[in-house]
Structures are given as structure tokens and as C-alpha cells.
Chain A
Amino acid sequence: MKHHFLQIENLKKSYPGPDKDSELVIFENANFTIDKGEFVCVIGHSGCGKSTILNILAGLDEASDGIVIMDGKEISGPSLERGVVFQNYSLLPWRTALQNVTFGVQARWPEWSKDKVQEHSLRFLELVGLKGAEDRKPSQLSGGMRQRVSIARAFATQPQLLLMDEPFGALDALTRGVIQEELIKIWEESKQTVFMITHDVDEAILLADRILLMTNGPKARIAESVKVSIPRPRKRTEIIHHQDYYKIRNHLVDFLVDRSKQDITVLNPKDASPKIIDLAS
């Protein structure tokens, strides 16, 4: 069996139901793997448990069943090896942009000198295009700039796995486009392994190597794993001309509109892993 960097096996989350023996299953039989350096996006309707999966990977939530193995070890609790970019940025409002980044860097490398922490943090703020804004408090930054600080904080700690929970969900379309390209830039430089939740099909195609599709909850499953066969480096303006772009996009939209509602998931009966879809021509 091939050894993957991240293995999620039979993950399940449920809450006790109204009756004694009933339970409310959010999702079950979630099986998937992520390789080192891979960028994986998850798409699904609201309420299918995407964020719960991410929180379990982050160690902020506990699974009802199943295990997560990272680098050969089962994860338990939060760790600096798994960085998180939250949807609402979660910056500490009493710290400046730079201090929010140094917060992560100091936690990661407590033995570093003050200068080194400062220099390292500044470099990552520059990478997300925030040079000159390092002394501003989050309340003095726009939504897009705040999310950039949050991304810089996560990348600066250089975790083995980066988890992003709809990082651009609250941003307007123009800002989102700019930050997406910055994210690609910083990702290509750092070769991070990324697991990202999104609602935006085009965003997923632009960023991901592979897209996981979830059916609707309750009892949601990860039904398909769609390979994005568009070569990198990708640009927003260019990928739409690639021959596979609309094939992939139509497949995703079709799934979200029609197939996600029914439980027609053709799971591999042996290990219940998602059906692998490769639309490359």
C-alpha cells in the first residue's frame, strides 16, 4: 500500500439525537488521502460538514469515529505542524499586523532571537503585499488586508499541513482575485501541503491539484475526487482558455446542482474511498 502524507480513514462525526439511541450523523465514512505538496480543495453545500472535517484535522474538534494519520502518526489535539487560516481571519485586534505574524513565529520557534523573529515575519508580510502596513492594527485594515495577515501568519510558521476554512468567503470578487494570485505565489514558493474549503468552483479549479466533492448532509460523504488537469503556473485569465477548464467546471457544477442531493455515491466498496475522476483530454 502506498504511503500517503495524510490519511483520513473512516472519519465520522455525529451528535446525540433527540432520542436516547438515535444519533445525528453529520458525515461518515470519510476516506481520503493527501500527498506531500498537494493542494486539495473541498466543495460541498453548507451543512455537509466540511468545516467539521477541517476542525478535526486542526485538532480543534474531535471525530466520533475514524482516525487521521499525518506523516505516519495519528494526530491528537492541535499542533503547530497544522496551521489554520480561519474564515473570519481571527487576528488579535490589540496586536499590529506584524505582531500578529510574530505571534505565530514566536510560538513556532521560541528559541529565536527577537531580530530573527521580526525579520522572518516581515518577509512573509512582504510576500502577501503588506509592506508598509505592518504597524497598523487589524481595525485599520480592510477585509482583504486582514486575510493577508492571517495567511502570512499561517505560512510564516511553515506548518507541514495548512488548513484553510473558506479563506476568501467574506471578500468581494476583485479582492478575492488578487489574493488568490498572491496565495498561488506564496504556495509555489513554499510548496506547502494545503487543505482548503471553498464554495467557489472557479477558485477551486484555479488553486487545487485535486477537488473533493461532498454530498449534502446529514450523513454526508466524500463522493468524488476530481483531478484538475490544468498545468501550472495558472493564471485566472488564462486557465479559462484551457481545453479541460469547462469540462471540469461543468462536472463540478453538475455535481453540486444535481448529484449532491441524492446518495448515488459510487463508493469503492472495499475501502469506501471517493471515486476518482480524471477529465484530462
Chain B
Amino acid sequence: MLKSLKVKSALLSIIFLVILLGIWEGANQAPTDTKPLTEYEMLMGGASQEARVPPPSEVIELGFKELSDPFYDAGPNDKGIGIQLGYSIYRVMVGFLLAAAIAIPIGFLIGMSPLMYNALNPFIQVLRPISPLAWMPLALFIIKDSEISAIFVIFICSIWPMLINTAFGVANVRKDWINVARTHQLSPLQTAMQVILPAAAPTILTGMRISIGIAWLVIVAAEMLVGGTGIGYYVWNEWNNLDLASVIFSIFMIGVIGMLLDMMLAYAARWVTYQE
């Protein structure tokens, strides 16, 4: 029953995909010529130069070409998609891990101490809703390096979900489990490592998952601003080149990588999830 459900849904997905691509392909065919081409049109390569969204066949063809050599580097304006994605993933990872290194300990502190919670809460509430890109000018001015500024923007956008989820998870550890630690005379550090951390781990992982999702959303915009390298820059650059097939292909790749990052953390969450 379950297996047949899986098979059915997979089949349905494929049907949807075919319909979607079919409509897209059909709606964006190069116009057929009704009258002979003018001399100008001949010079410009025919009517296919008319502005239109490239059909999927073109995008797929380009995709194969790009993915068959993803890491080529032919100068600053012509790098393989793999290199561009690599830069973006690198920035996201550095910013995300720095944020985790700060958010999780501070979240622990806030979760364990109502005093610290009340003292830091106003800061969090004001800083959290700020669009990470709003920090960009300030970051560029203070850091004076576009590369590090992009990483800073990732850092600042991924810190809040992790901070808040860690604090929430730590504050809501069942009192019974804390009492078990107390009756076993565990030190505060032992209690944190042996009871609170495993108890709050699923909530912390959820925060990390939200963070990396936001970080991946933000890096594209940040790279459009700072330029140079990265998938966000690549999308914008291809738009300037009016290469819409590349734009569509990179949009698709952004989705795939985002999904992989999320799956990675979902897989990690499976290790720390427990059933009560």
C-alpha cells in the first residue's frame, strides 16, 4: 500500500513535470516566418533573436553543457557554474558556522538564565527584523572588504533563528530531566552536556535548518550587490549579458543546492531526534 502510494506520487510528479515543460516549450517557440526575412533580419541571424523566454529544451541543453565542465575558469567574467556555486556555498558555510559558534552558546545562556533572557531580549527583538542586506553599507564601510562583508551579512541573518531556537529549546527542557541531573549531583557543565544539550538538540537543529535556508536566500541578493564571484553575481551578470537560458539554469541550480543544504541538516537532525 505504502509502496504503491510512493510509486503513484512519483508517476504523478513526472506527469506534472512533462505538462509544465510542454506548455513552456510550446508557448515559447521561435516565431515562424510568414514573409521573407528582411536584410537586417538576415544579418541579425533571423527571427529567433526576437525577445522571448528560452524554451526548456534550450535550458536543458545549456545545463548539460555547463555541468559537463562546471569548473572551467576563463577569466573574471567567464567561470563555470561549479566555481560560482562553490564561492556561494563557501560564504554561506563560513557565515553560518561563525553564527552557530556564537548563537548556540549565547542561546544556552539565555535559555538557562531568566536574567540574561530579560536583559538581552530587547536587543534581539530589535535586531532580528532588520533585513540582513540593510547591514551591507555599514559592513562595507567598517570591514572595507566586499568578500568579508558578504560573509558578515550571512552571519547576521543566520544568527537569529539559531539563537532563538537554542534559547527556547534549553528553557523548555523537561523539569523532570533537570531533576534527574540534580539528584545525581551533576555539575552545571555536566548537566549542560549530558542532559540539556541532548534534550534541546532537536530544537537547536531546527533553528540551524531555518538559518541555513535564510542564509542561502540572502547570499544570492548579497552577491548581486557585492559582485565579483558567486551564484548571485552570476545570475545578475547573465542578465546583463541577456543570456536568459543561463539565468534560468542558475535559478534551477540555486534551488537544487538549497534543497541539498536543507537535506543535509534534516539528515543531521535524524541523529539527535528522540521519541518521548
Contact = CB atoms under 8 A, between A and B. Distances in A.
A101 to B, nearest CB: 12
Contact of A92 (B182, B183, B185, B198): B198
A84 interface: yes
B176 A80 contact: no
Interface string A99-128: 000011001100000000000000000000
Contacts of A60: 179, 182-183
Nearest to B185: A80
B179 A90 contact: yes
Contacts of A58: 183
A86 B198 contact: no
A175 interface: no
Given A88-B176, A139-B276, A59 B182 contact: yes
A161 to B, nearest CB: 11
Contact of A139 (B176, B185, B199, B275): B275
A197 B148 CA distance: 62
Nearest to B272: A94
A79 B275 CA distance: 29
Given A88-B176, A92-B195, A103-B194, A80 B274 contact: no
Interface in A45-95: 58-60, 78-80, 82-84, 86, 88, 90, 92-94
B183 A93 contact: no
B276 A78 contact: no
A236 interface: no
B176 A90 contact: yes
Contacts of A79: 183, 185
A104 B184 CA distance: 6
B186 A93 contact: no
B260 to A, nearest CB: 27
B11 interface: no
Nearest to A55: B179
Interface residues of B, number: 18
A107 B179 contact: no
B185 A94 contact: no
Contacts of B179: 60, 84, 86, 90
Given A90-B177, A92-B198, A103-B194, A84 B183 contact: yes
Contacts of B275: 93, 137, 139
Nearest to B180: A90
Nearest to B184: A107
B244 to A, nearest CB: 50
Contacts of A108: 184
Interface string B33-71: 000000000000000000000000000000000000000
Could you tell me the dominant secondary structure of chain A's interface residues?
loop
A107 to B, nearest CB: 4
Interface string B171-199: 00000110110111110001000110011
A86 B186 contact: no
Interface string B13-45: 000000000000000000000000000000000
Listed residue (B176, B184, B199) with the most chain A CB atoms within 10 angstroms of its CB = B184
A139 B275 CA distance: 6
B170 to A, nearest CB: 15
Contact of A78 (B177, B183, B198): B183
B81 to A, nearest CB: 41
Contact of B274 (A59, A137, A157): A137
Contacts of B198: 92, 94
A80 B180 CA distance: 11
B185 A107 contact: yes
A78 B182 contact: yes
A133 to B, nearest CB: 16
Interface in B139-189: 176-177, 179-180, 182-186
A59 B183 CA distance: 8
5 contacts: A88-B176, A93-B274, A94-B274, A138-B276, A139-B274
Per CB-CB distance, the 5 closest pairs between chain A and chain B, nearest first, are A139-B275, A94-B274, A107-B184, A90-B176, A78-B182
Interface of A: 58-60, 78-80, 82-84, 86, 88, 90, 92-94, 103-104, 107-108, 137-139, 157
Given A59-B182, A90-B179, A139-B276, 8 more contacts: A60-B183, A80-B185, A86-B180, A88-B176, A90-B180, A103-B180, A103-B194, A138-B276
